[in-house]
A and B are shown apart, each in its own frame.
Chain A
Amino acid sequence: MHGLFRWSSKWWPGTIPLAVLWAIAAWTSTGPLESDLAARTTAALKDTVLDKSRVTVAGRDVTFAADAFSEEGRRSAVASVEAVPGVRLVNDETRLVPEAKPFVWSAERDVVRVTLSGSSPLPASKGKLLEAARAALGGVEVVDQMNLSRGAPPRFDNAALLLLDQVGKLKDGKITISDTKVSLSGMARDLGGREAIAAALKNLPEGFSVAANEIKAPPYIFQAYKDPVAVTLTLTGYVPDNSVHAAIVAAAARKFFSEKVVDNLKASVGAPSGFAAAVVPALGALSRLSTGTLVVSDREVKLSGDALYETAPAQIRSNLVKDFQQGWQLKAEISVKPAAAPVDATVCQQLFSELLGKATIRFVSGRANLDPDSAGLLDRLIETALRCPTANIEIGGHTDGDGENAFNQTLSEKRAQAVMEYLVKAGLPAGRFTAIGYGSTQPVATNDSDEGKAQNRRIEFVVKE
């Protein structure tokens, strides 16, 4: 032992090459050592859930900064860094992700993109939401402006995923979750979209509730265009269901006696209440125009076109408003078609016969009240009567052979009278007309069949020189 002390006093010269060795070792090994430790630390943190994780190594000291989502998560992350072999000191710069109060998340859609913003609970849920948004909105750009925060309500992911599905049904709008309250605003993409969204909201996870649903439906549009050149009536847009569809097409066929009805209607939910009750009279009004367009948008009825004579526009307007239920509005832009050239009495008679050959003036069964379906035909008869202002016209009423003769006689007289009154109300001088009832005395077909009887029930216009 004594020898060792003696010898050790002579060991010092070796420290000079040792110092050189040490300097070289320090010079060459520091970089590789630091990157090796950084790699090991990162590997140790692979399975921990952290945001903005940053590892810097100086010598064997690791500075570890990260946002953790819970206190245990934070502590276990620091512990796993400390456990990395070779790490001497850990400078702990971790903190908890800020807590959002209230926890607000929103998805906003405009024409070209969907923006997700607000808070998202975990990186995994954020990724899931983005993926779901891309899947639900195929082709639409998805912009991510979400932060990560603590304080999400339970089952947040499920609620947000359900709402992302609804964003696909919007044309534009915004859906927001604030804690457990859901609010929606905007415009649905299709008719029925609003109802579909409302139905889907019933499946929100437990604890969530709808604070405000201000999704608007796109306007419910029904259009009818009367084309005098092609002699067609084109119906486009929506009807509530098949029975209303059939009723509207049948009414159009009755009211437009010479036009072919082109039916391009589609059934869809979302019709305003009183739809059929407004559309059928509006079609009647359109039938009185020589050319015109009817647009029903929600509860607004727009009618534009040319009426056949001076007093018609005011009559059409007031009749239509009378038929409307409360809440419905009429915007009528009706002008009067320039009067056609006058013709002599023979041509007039020919025109009357042509018109009445295509259709007959209808009455309420067994009574002398004019059927509104005949308004279009009557207007054309009036237009014709205006073209031969000097001719006197006999309006003859005829019935079928059913029932008492006396009743038929009276009925035919009253019906002829009703037609005459209608013409006078339109501005024609009463002196030009005589209303005569013929009862069933002048049948034009057999009274043994329904078709024959229908032909016998008629009003005839006879021009007297």
Chain B
Amino acid sequence: MTYLATFHWGWLLASLLLGFAMGWIAVVHRGQAVSKPLARGLAVLVAALVAAALARVVPGRPGYWLDLGLIMFALYLAGCAVGSWLRDRVLSGHAKAA
């Protein structure tokens, strides 16, 4: 994991920033939201992929791509969470001021 982080820090940082931007927008976004059942389904899918990665059942290059994708996705989620949280803080600060 440390090795992947040092080898791919550029891509990981990009995922993180992308997540941050998405999280920042998501708070005020009026677009369509993911329905609950679909979100649950996606969560199960991601959990299955994480399990597969940890169990190392996917061999060779696909295995590496899976690892890479999951790490990028995790950082994306983290970026989203931070972005949304910060935007929310900023917005509530404005609201209080108003």
Interface residue ranges, A against B (CB under 8 Å): 3-4, 7-15, 17-18, 21-22, 25-26, 29-30, 33, 36, 58-61, 85-86, 88-89
Cβ B15 vs Cβ A7 within 8 A: no
Contacts of B93 in A (CB 8 A): none
Interface residue ranges, B against A (CB under 8 Å): 2-4, 7-8, 11, 14-15, 18-19, 21-23, 26-27, 29, 31, 33-34, 39, 56, 59-65, 67-69, 72-73, 76-77, 80-81, 84-85, 88
Q: Other CB < 8 Å A-B pairs besides A36-B7, A88-B64, 11 of them?
A: A8-B81, A14-B80, A15-B73, A18-B73, A22-B72, A25-B8, A25-B68, A30-B61, A33-B7, A59-B63, A86-B7
CB nearest to A63 among chain B residues: B60
A-B contact pairs, 21 of them (CB 8 A): A4-B84, A9-B34, A10-B31, A14-B18, A14-B19, A14-B21, A14-B22, A14-B80, A15-B76, A18-B73, A18-B76, A21-B15, A22-B68, A25-B68, A25-B72, A26-B68, A59-B63, A85-B2, A88-B56, A88-B64, A89-B56
Please measure, in the bound complex, the distance between the C-alpha atom of A22 and the C-alpha atom of B84, giving whole angstroms: 22
How many inter-chain contacts with C-beta < 8 Å in the A-B complex?
107
CB distance from B21 to the nearest CB of A (A): 7
| Cross-interface CB contact of B65 among A13, A14, A59, cutoff 8 Å | A59
Contacts of A7 in B (CB 8 A): 23, 26-27, 80, 84, 88
Please measure, in the bound complex, the distance between the C-alpha atom of A60 and the C-alpha atom of B67, giving whole angstroms: 10
| Cross-interface CB contact of B26 among A11, A30, A33, cutoff 8 Å | A11
| Cross-interface CB contact of B63 among A14, A85, A86, A88, cutoff 8 Å | A88
Please measure, in the bound complex, the distance between the C-alpha atom of A89 and the C-alpha atom of B61, giving whole angstroms: 12
Cβ A61 vs Cβ B59 within 8 A: yes
Please measure, in the bound complex, the distance between the C-alpha atom of A88 and the C-alpha atom of B59, giving whole angstroms: 10
Contacts of B27 in A (CB 8 A): 7
| Cross-interface CB contact of A59 among B3, B11, B15, B64, cutoff 8 Å | B64
Cβ B76 vs Cβ A58 within 8 A: no
Please measure, in the bound complex, the distance between the C-alpha atom of A61 and the C-alpha atom of B60, giving whole angstroms: 6
CB nearest to A9 among chain B residues: B33
Q: Which 9 pairs of residues, A with B, have the shortest CB-CB distance? A: A59-B64, A14-B22, A86-B3, A58-B60, A9-B33, A59-B61, A10-B26, A7-B84, A25-B11
Cβ B80 vs Cβ A3 within 8 A: no
Cβ B72 vs Cβ A18 within 8 A: yes
Cβ A21 vs Cβ B72 within 8 A: yes
CB nearest to B33 among chain A residues: A9
Please measure, in the bound complex, the distance between the C-alpha atom of A23 and the C-alpha atom of B55, giving whole angstroms: 23
Contacts of B80 in A (CB 8 A): 7-8, 11, 14
Please measure, in the bound complex, the distance between the C-alpha atom of A253 and the C-alpha atom of B37, giving whole angstroms: 127
Please measure, in the bound complex, the distance between the C-alpha atom of A3 and the C-alpha atom of B18, giving whole angstroms: 20
Cβ B61 vs Cβ A58 within 8 A: yes
Please measure, in the bound complex, the distance between the C-alpha atom of A86 and the C-alpha atom of B4, giving whole angstroms: 7
Known contacts A7-B84, A60-B67, A88-B63; A21/B11 CB under 8 A: yes
Known contacts A18-B72, A58-B60, A59-B63; A3/B88 CB under 8 A: yes
CB nearest to B2 among chain A residues: A85
CB distance from A89 to the nearest CB of B (A): 6
CB distance from B98 to the nearest CB of A (A): 19
Contacts of A12 in B (CB 8 A): 34
Contacts of A58 in B (CB 8 A): 59-61
Cβ A11 vs Cβ B3 within 8 A: no
Please measure, in the bound complex, the distance between the C-alpha atom of A18 and the C-alpha atom of B46, giving whole angstroms: 15
CB distance from A28 to the nearest CB of B (A): 9
CB nearest to A5 among chain B residues: B39
Contacts of A11 in B (CB 8 A): 19, 22-23, 26, 77, 80, 84
